[in-house]
């Protein structure tokens, strides 16, 4: 449908929440406002008892297992949160994911292509593309085969949290990943050439609506 914007689900990083991420990715959203609308949701896992520090996967699985033995990594809770967002706010065209949000997103997309016997997805969950910023491989789950969905990976050349090497390794979980390395660290970029790369990638899917 010509003229319609993309609708994108945005997933924040570890120890962030929707409100803080909305501020951190403000320039990114401004750069692409003519192309897309973003729905930013809270991760369901609360870190260290602080509701403003949230995550999609527990980093300390051993500690969390005593609280949630059936879902020690928190993965099913996060998959359920995505399903709820799709039902209430969707459908979505794509995902925009930062840091640990990208870890969760890659597992979600992997399970969409290769259903898992344990982890379940809402049947309404479906996406056409993903944009990952400072993505990192999940620690507790493996992605055995490359994910087919089109992907753009933005990697900070001076990222001290997720090194460029780790972010490149993450991109190889996807088939034919599009990669751009920007001048900067662990943040959401939008200026200069980065903004042009993002807009070009999103436009491919806008014209296909």
Average pLDDT value for the chain: 92
| 71 belongs to the catalytic site | no
| 99 belongs to the catalytic site | yes
The pTM is what?
0.92
| 67 belongs to the catalytic site | no
* Mean pLDDT on 34-52: 95
Three-state secondary-structure class, residue 29: helix
Q: Are strands 178-182 and 50-55 parallel, antiparallel or unpaired?
A: unpaired
Are 104 and 180 a contacting pair, CB within 8 Å? no
Point out the catalytic residue in the list 78, 99, 151, 171: 99
Q: Domains in the chain, start-ordered, CATH in brackets?
A: 6-206 (3.40.50.1820)
Point out the catalytic residue in the list 42, 153, 159, 187: 159
**Per-residue model confidence (pLDDT) at position 209:** 67
Q: 67-126: per-residue pLDDT in tens?
A: 554 576 899 999 999 999 999 999 999 999 999 999 999 999 999 999 999 999 999 999
**Per-residue model confidence (pLDDT) at position 58:** 87
Are 151 and 178 a contacting pair, CB within 8 Å? yes
Q: 1-12: per-residue pLDDT in tens?
A: 345 899 999 999
Q: 45-82: per-residue pLDDT in tens?
A: 999 899 999 999 987 544 444 455 457 689 999 999 99
Q: For residue 102, give the nearest of 146, 81, 132, 124 by alpha carbon.
A: 132
**Per-residue model confidence (pLDDT) at position 70:** 58
What percent of the chain clears pLDDT 70, i.e. is strictly above it?
A: 92
């Amino acid at each position: 449908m010509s003229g319609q914007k993309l609708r994108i689900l945005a997933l924040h990083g570890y120890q962030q929440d929707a409100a803080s991420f909305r501020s951190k990715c403000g320039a990114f959203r401004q750069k692409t406002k003519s192309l897309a609308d973003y729905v930013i949701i809270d991760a369901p896992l609360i870190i260290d008892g602080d509701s403003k520090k949230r995550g999609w996967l527990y980093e300390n699985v051993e500690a969390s297992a005593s609280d949630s033995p059936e879902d020690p990594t928190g993965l099913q809770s996060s998959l359920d949160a995505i399903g709820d967002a799709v039902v209430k706010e969707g459908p979505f065209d794509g995902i925009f994911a930062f840091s640990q949000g990208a870890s969760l997103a890659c597992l979600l997309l992997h399970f969409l292509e290769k259903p898992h016997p344990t982890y379940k997805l809402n049947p309404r969950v479906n996406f056409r593309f993903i944009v990952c910023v400072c993505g990192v491989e999940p620690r507790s789950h493996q992605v055995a085969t490359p994910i087919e969905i089109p992907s753009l990976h933005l990697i900070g050349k001076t990222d001290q949290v997720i090194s460029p090497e780790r972010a490149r390794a993450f991109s190889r979980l996807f088939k034919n990943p599009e990669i751009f390395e920007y001048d900067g660290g662990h943040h959401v970029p939008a200026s200069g050439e980065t903004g042009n790369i993002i807009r070009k990638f999103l436009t491919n899917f806008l014209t296909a609506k």
